[in-house]
Amino acid sequence: MIKKEILLQLKNISVHYGGVKALDGVNLELDEGEIVALMGPNGAGKSTILKVIFGLVPLHSGKILWHQKEITPITYEVVQMGIAFVPQGRRVFSNLTIAENLEIGGFIVDNKKELKRRIEEVLDIFPVLKRKLKLKAGSLSGGEQQMLALARALMIDPKILLLDEPSLGLAPKVVKEVFNKIKEINERHKTTILVVEHNIKSLLDIVHRGYILDKGKIVFQATSNELRQSDILEKVFMGKLA
Please report whether residue 126 would count as binding other proteins according to CB under 8 A: no
Q: What is the DSSP letter of 97?
A: B
Provide, rounded to whole angstroms, the least separation between the CB of residue 227 and other proteins: 29
| Residues within window 140-199 making contact with other proteins, judged by CB under 8 A | 152-153, 155-156
Q: Which residues pair with 31 in a beta bridge?
A: 6
Site string (39-58) toward other proteins, x via CB under 8 A:
---------------x-x--
Kindly tell me which of 49 and 200 has the beta carbon lying closer to other proteins: 49
Site string (57-96) toward other proteins, x via CB under 8 A:
------------------xx--xx----x-x---xxxxxx
Provide, rounded to whole angstroms, the least separation between the CB of residue 220 and other proteins: 29
Which residue in the set 4, 70, 107, 141 belongs to the binding site for other proteins (CB under 8 A)? 107
Q: What is the DSSP string of 37-95?
A: EEE-STTSSHHHHHHHHTTSS--SEEEEEETTEEE---HHHHHHHTEEEE-SS----TT
Distances from the Cα of 16 to the Cα of 48, 58, 175, angstroms: 10, 8, 32
Which residue in the set 29, 100, 121, 177 belongs to the binding site for other proteins (CB under 8 A)? 100
Residue 122: helix, strand or coil by DSSP? Answer: helix
Binding window for other proteins (CB under 8 A); candidates: 33-41, 102-110, 116-124, 185-193: 102-110
DSSP alpha helix (H) spans, the chain: 46-53, 75-81, 98-105, 112-125, 127-130, 142-154, 172-189, 200-204, 224-229, 232-237
Provide, rounded to whole angstroms, the least separation between the CB of residue 107 and other proteins: 5
Query: How many residues of this chain bind other proteins (CB under 8 A)?
Result: 24
Nearest to 125 by CA among 203, 199, 204, 183: 183
Binding window for other proteins (CB under 8 A); candidates: 101-109, 172-180, 187-195, 196-204: 101-109
Provide, rounded to whole angstroms, the least separation between the CB of residue 78 and other proteins: 8
Asked if 185 and 168 touch (Cβ cutoff 8 Å), the reply is: no
Provide, rounded to whole angstroms, the least separation between the CB of residue 30 and other proteins: 18
Side-by-side strand order, sheet with 6-17: 20-31, 6-17, 61-66, 69-71
Provide, rounded to whole angstroms, the least separation between the CB of residue 96 and other proteins: 6
Asked if 178 and 195 touch (Cβ cutoff 8 Å), the reply is: no
Contact residues for other proteins (CB under 8 A)? Answer: 54, 56, 75-76, 79-80, 85, 87, 91-96, 100, 103-105, 107-108, 152-153, 155-156
